[in-house]
Amino acid sequence: MLLEAARTVFGERGYQGATVAAITREAHTAHGTFYLYFDNREDVFLQVVNDLLDELYQHSFTPIEDLPSQGDAGMLRERIAAFITAWVAHGPLWRALLEASLASARVQARWMEHRRRFHATLSERLTHFGVELGGRALDADTAAYALNSMLEWYALTGTVFEEPRALEASDDVIDTLTTLWMRALGG
């Protein structure tokens, strides 16, 4: 109940505007009850962020041995769709995450921890499958970081700033992003 109330308050007010009082009011619980579960606003936000980022990256950690031997555009499309859908579903919380990551070293570290895990996993896959472009092996770490950063920044700007427009999980958006990834990976 408190965690759901925190999601609502952070989504409505952002990180800086959210208060413990607003969260307990939204949860219809006593102020002291909050402190039975969380130390402060940052602590509850870290839990919200964990859940958010776990959902965002959950489709990305299939063991290599369970992956097809070649690039699978259908699987890639499915994963990009899940990624974009998570951004759309939690739009206001991404703004709060951006704001909080600039205000809190702990929040920033948590976000980067999730991103690094994703980058390491993607880099491992690129290395495993020997991805080349123009007959030259890609630097897997750089490619992993650049591909995810492109996707993440597109989702962030579409969600937070509605640039170039409000983010949507439409077939056109997902197909375009999938095509970009496939071409970047030589497929």
pLDDT beneath 50, residues of the chain: none
Q: Give the pLDDT confidence of 59-112 residue by residue, as tens digits.
A: 777 666 666 666 677 888 998 999 999 999 999 999 999 999 999 999 999 999
The model's pTM:
0.87
End-to-end CA separation in angstroms for the chain = 46
- Asked whether residue 29 is domain-assigned, the answer is no
Are the C-beta atoms of residues 11 and 93 closer than 8 Å to each other? Answer: yes
What CATH number is attached to the domain comprising 89?
A: 1.10.357.10
- Asked whether residue 36 is domain-assigned, the answer is no
- Asked whether residue 22 is domain-assigned, the answer is no
Instruction: Note down the domain range covering 84.
Output: 41-184
- Asked whether residue 21 is domain-assigned, the answer is no
pLDDT recorded at residue 138: 79
How many structural domains comprise the chain?
Answer: 1
- Asked whether residue 104 is domain-assigned, the answer is yes
Q: Would residue 88 be called left, alpha or beta, if left means φ above 0 and alpha means ψ between -120 and 50 degrees? A: alpha
- Asked whether residue 25 is domain-assigned, the answer is no
- Asked whether residue 132 is domain-assigned, the answer is yes
Q: How many residues does the chain have?
A: 187
